[in-house]
Every structure is written in structure tokens, then in C-alpha cells.
Amino acid sequence: KKRVAIFISGGGSNMVRLVEDMADPNHPAEPVLVLANSADAGGLAKAAAMGVPVVSVDHRPFKGDRPAFEAALQAELDKVTPDILCLAGFMRVLTEGFVAPWEGRMLNIHPSLLPKYKGLHTHARALEAGDAEHGCTVHMVTPLLDDGPILGQARITVQTADTPDTLAARVLTQEHKLYPACLRRFAAGDTTRVDL
């Protein structure tokens, strides 16, 4: 099986779905580590309860020294030798120094239909633009933020009564389907696009 590490920053609902999916004995991958950039990340307890090793590497003591923070992240990965790294709501920007060695083996989920709305506040921006459609994207990570080859997208229809919060909730439901589907294919060596 392919060994998967997952980086989170918060509640980790996408991480939970990935771990749940990997519980299938026929899944081509298994979770070997969940890492958060804060000990407060709610997802850590959920991962531990599912029997996945967890660790936190707090970014704050590094005071903006990204290379030093990233060296600490890589040191944790070196202990568990993952084949694949999944970012799942990891809210720290990773520099080229960290990303380049992982290129082709690192995935991210982003709450917009990329290439639209890279960065933050994607739901408010889709509403403001008057988009009829919105959604989420799983892509391979390259040194450019929210860029890189797309592995899958899930779409929702924007309703007139939608707010950023209602959109976020509907997109998150789709994220929970899209990310496990993409990881399954990717871990099996299949980069065919998933569309939901």
C-alpha cells in the first residue's frame, strides 16, 4: 500500500473522510501520519481516535522563518517515509524549497473551481462575481499557490439565497466525496480526472 501523510490546520473533516476511505482493505493507500501546525487543531483528536499517528509542529515559534518551519515538517515526514502527502485544509503557504522534492506526490483540495479564486475567501468571491456554478478542486501541488495539474472537480449550482456560509457548507459536502475519490485513483497510479 502507498503510505499517506495528511497535513491539516483545523477541524480536519476532509482528513477524516480520507482516513475513513482508506479503512477499506482494498484501498491502495494507508494513513501513516496526520500533522497539524497547531496543537489546537480539532482534527488531531479525530485522527488519534481513528488510530492514526498524529503530531503537531507549531509554526508560531518559527516567527516567519518558513525554511526552518518547513525543515521541521520534513523531519516529521522523514520519520514515517510517506509516498504521498495530502494537504487537507492546511492553511500555511509552503515554499518551493519544501514543495519541489514532493512535486508529483503532493495533493491539495481547494474550495473553488480552479483556476478561479486561488487563495482565500473563495465563496464570497464566487458570490460577488455572480457565478452560476461553484465547487472544489483536487490538484497536484506545484510551487505556485493553488496551481498545478487538476485531478478532479465537483460542482454545485449557486442559488439566489446563498451566502458565503451556505455555499461553504454545500461545497464541503462535495469535498468529502471528491478528495477520497481522487486519492484512490492517484494512489493506484491513475491520474484520470474525476468529475462530480
Q: 56 a known binding residue?
A: no
By CB under 6 A, tell whether 36 contacts ligand GAR.
no
Instruction: For the segment 152-191, give every residue that binds ligand GAR (CB under 6 A).
Output: 172, 175
Q: Which of 46, 110, 170, 185 binds ligand GAR (CB under 6 A)?
A: 110
Q: Which of 2, 4, 12, 70 binds ligand GAR (CB under 6 A)?
A: 12
Query: Rounded to 10 degrees, what is the CA torsion of 138, 42, 74, 17?
Result: -40
Instruction: For the segment 43-82, give every residue that binds ligand GAR (CB under 6 A).
Output: 43
Strands 106-110 and 84-87: parallel
Residues 5 and 35: beta-carbon distance below 8 Å = yes
Report the C-alpha gap between 174 and 161 in whole angstroms: 19
Cβ at position 193, least distance to ligand GAR in Å: 18
Q: Label residue 143 exposed, middle or buried (CB < 10 Å: 0-12, 13-18, 19+).
A: middle
What residues form the annotated binding site? Answer: 12-14, 66, 108
Residues binding ligand GAR (CB under 6 A): 8, 10-14, 43, 88-89, 91, 109-111, 172, 175
